[in-house]
Structure 1
Amino acid sequence: MPHAPGHRADRPTLRDVAKRAAVSAMTVTRVLRDDPRVLPGTRERVLAAVAELGYRPNTVARSLRLGRGSGLVGLVVTNLANPFYSRLALGVDSVVGPHGLKTVIGNTRQDLDVERELVADLVGRRVDGIIAVPAGTDQRHLAAAVAQGVPVVCASRPPAGFEADHVLVDDFGGAREATERLLALGHRRIGFLGPPAAVYTSTERLRGYRAALEAAGLPATDDVISQGQQDIATAERAAAGLLALPAPPTALFCSNNRNTIGAFRAVSAAGGDTALAGFDDFELADSLGLPLTIQAYDSDELGREAGRLLTDRMRNAPAAGGAPRRTVVPTRAVQYGTPRPARATGGSGTAPA
């Protein structure tokens, strides 16, 4: 008599997956560990067998092999309203999920005190590891988690005051390239919009913006730089303020998607021809009706790499004294619409004819 669905006897084993995919049990294990040495065709065959059989790893046994045993990974982010973090979470989960681990997400709202409480709570719940987007440079609570044996990986922002694996975006290089593209269109007075200066990505992108202007022999004047905007509404107000200056910028570089959308609204309301460049791609960017240059990157890959670094540390916990690893995700320019060159009026904000 067949067992009811879900009965232990009906659960497929790792050997069942291996038989279905015509590979060894070790190969199945390597695929589930996201081992880069597995050939793409073999990986697809194994994952197809996993899906067909409904295989689920033994969470307890796998967690014990990985290190601690709760089966949970903490993901600490700063702003769940930003679509970037949903993509980051999907990337993390796509790697840790096959290890039988579940992702628990905590939102800090860019508040360091909230982050401290979240990390303490995760450690208290005996999570197997933590992936954190730190809210600031005071990261003693993350260092304390490491000291208690919890592997920590920093994503998007580097560790400060302690050593940990981390994966970053090429914030400096991407911002410099985006600003250089505006300069190549003849813009000479370019505004900057970004999150608070305490945010690592904002600081690095401002540094890239300044570097591009300096290389072009132009000053980065404070009157066209606005930092502190964390949502679309405040970004719109900040952009409107720059556009209302006696000598407004002819172009705006926005250092994240929240600021880009806010700037778009301000430019649309003003009815001008201010050029826009932004960092972070977002849905419907191609439907805004204004020319827009975006410095894009694979935020899913950022999450996947963070997941790989974490599971590797968990797997090798007894020998976890190795040097911390740093990965940088590259950016690329994406153009929506026809680029908007500066008007050749010879004024302070544009290139002369």
Structure 2
Amino acid sequence: MTQETPAEPSPAPSEMSVPKGRPTLRDVALLAGVSTKTASRVVNGEGGVTAAKVAAVQQAVAKLDYRPNFTASSLRRANGRTAAIAAVLEDVSNPFSSALHRALEDVAHGRDVMIFAGSVDEDPQRERSLIHAFTTRQADALVVVPASDSQRYLASEVNAGTPIVFVDRPPVGIDVDAVLVDNHAGAAEAVRHLVAHGHRDIGFLGDLTSIATARQRLLGYKESLSDHGIRPAPEHIVLDLHTEEAAQRATHDLLTGESPPTALFTAQNLVTIGAVRALRQLDLHHRVALVGYDDFPLADLLQPPVTVVAQDPAAMGRLAASLIFRRLDGERWEPTVHFVPTRLVPRGSGEILGPHAAKP
């Protein structure tokens, strides 16, 4: 049986306190009262360590929330950074997420930094797994579009000084920078536009109500109608749509019902695409007005071109990257929410006149 090398006496575990910042293997060894070499053997699953010392190291790992650094040392810089930022996005195939990712990548490229990205697919467990994988590999910073209803589990990263920026959705349970848009105001503007073009029966097709931005857009829709003295018919509000196919079916059912709306507000880009397909299937695309939230590729080439409330994911990504690099460069400030404005882009579908339009 291999014998471990004797080490200089270390302080007893009871004499050690939890270090500030991201814990190192040396911190684990000091807390466990063993040599760094012994701690390394335990962490890497090697033999030659007594059961008592294995237990001490494991307890120290748990107490410190220590994460082994699996990043190759040849890729690390002299300052201990990995030159890598992790982006945890909703769905990298979605036009919004891909534009956000590309903006992050463009800024990082100028700093010789890599962007590693993954999709959470609205799955809180997948969000946590991705973040754990990235932080285990010692990512220098995190950009997060969350799916979970609380991100308190990131407190150890915040306390360790890891720069974190939330994008599109606000953080819950932790105090970090965020880059958002005013979803309520954007939805209200879409409704005002449709009302101004003579519509009072305006249907709403929304994303998953578990998503904060979806709830904000629904509230903006309702309150804007209320401001115009309009109460929406309950059957004209369809929620929890998250795919083009689901939105297409819902739009078809809505427009073939007993009292179909004369206009639609679709509150997410994939929902808008599904609605456009249903409108064309029913040959109603020149009769039913449509305003979508979020732009999407080729929206301006459809007939009619699709009117949208456009976010600017590229600007959001650039701002998020700027905040990350300022933090990494040593700047300090109180965590702040930064808003990027939306804009209404009238193209044709939202300007189809309704039954209450003013006569020429």
Displacement after TM superposition at 1:186 (Å): 1.1
- What CA distance in whole angstroms lies between the structure 1 residues aligned with 2:194 and 2:86? 40
Matched, 1:329 2:340: yes
Partner deviation per Cα, 1:95-148 (whole Å, 9 max, x = no partner): 222222100001111100000100111110000000000013221233343234
* SS of alignment partner, residue 336 of structure 1: coil
Matched, 1:129 2:132: no
**Code of the aligned partner of 1:282:** F
Show the counterpart of 2:353: 341
Displacement after TM superposition at 1:352 (Å): 10
Matched, 1:281 2:295: yes
The structure whose RCO (Cα within 8 Å, separation 6+) is larger is: 1
CA contact (8 A) 2:127 2:148 kept: no
Show the counterpart of 1:303: 317
Displacement after TM superposition at 1:294 (Å): 0.7
Show the counterpart of 1:168: 180
Larger radius of gyration: 2
- What CA distance in whole angstroms lies between the structure 1 residues aligned with 2:116 and 2:104? 11
- What CA distance in whole angstroms lies between the structure 2 residues aligned with 1:307 and 1:199? 24
Displacement after TM superposition at 1:60 (Å): 5.0
Displacement after TM superposition at 1:327 (Å): 1.0
**Code of the aligned partner of 1:249:** P
Displacement after TM superposition at 1:80 (Å): 2.0
**Code of the aligned partner of 1:183:** V
Aligned counterparts, 1:10-89, within 5 A:
60-61=76-77, 64=79, 68-89=80-101
* SS of alignment partner, residue 158 of structure 1: coil
Show the counterpart of 1:113: 125
- What CA distance in whole angstroms lies between the structure 2 residues aligned with 1:182 and 1:98? 43
Kindly report the root-mean-square deviation, in angstroms, between the aligned alpha carbons of the 2 structures. Answer: 2.1
Displacement after TM superposition at 1:190 (Å): 0.7
Number of corresponding residues: 284
- What CA distance in whole angstroms lies between the structure 1 residues aligned with 2:156 and 2:226? 41
- What CA distance in whole angstroms lies between the structure 1 residues aligned with 2:296 and 2:305? 14
Partner deviation per Cα, 1:137-181 (whole Å, 9 max, x = no partner): 221233343234322100001111110100012211111101100
**Which of 249, 264, 288 lines up with 2:276 in the alignment?**
264
CA contact (8 A) 1:193 1:229 kept: yes
- What CA distance in whole angstroms lies between the structure 1 residues aligned with 2:148 and 2:221? 21
Partner deviation per Cα, 1:63-108 (whole Å, 9 max, x = no partner): 72xxx51111000011122111111011111222222210000111
CA contact (8 A) 2:188 2:224 kept: yes
Show the counterpart of 2:11: none
Show the counterpart of 1:314: 328
**Which of 110, 123, 139 lines up with 1:98 in the alignment?**
110
Matched, 1:217 2:229: yes
Structure 1 residues 253 and 69: alpha-carbon distance in aligned structure 2, compared to 1, 3 A threshold: same
What stretches of structure 1 move > 3 A for 4+ residues in a row? 350-353
Unaligned runs of 5+ in 2: 1-74
CA contact (8 A) 1:92 1:304 kept: yes
Q: TM-score, normalised by structure 1?
A: 0.76
Structure 1 residues 180 and 72: alpha-carbon distance in aligned structure 2, compared to 1, 3 A threshold: same
- What CA distance in whole angstroms lies between the structure 2 residues aligned with 1:236 and 1:84? 20
Q: TM-score, normalised by structure 2?
A: 0.74
**Code of the aligned partner of 1:125:** R
Partner deviation per Cα, 1:25-63 (whole Å, 9 max, x = no partner): xxxxxxxxxxxxxxxxxxxxxxxxxxxxxxxxxx855x7
- What CA distance in whole angstroms lies between the structure 1 residues aligned with 2:229 and 2:358? 13
- What CA distance in whole angstroms lies between the structure 2 residues aligned with 1:309 and 1:292? 33
Displacement after TM superposition at 1:291 (Å): 5.0
Structure 1 residues 147 and 241: alpha-carbon distance in aligned structure 2, compared to 1, 3 A threshold: farther
**Code of the aligned partner of 1:188:** R
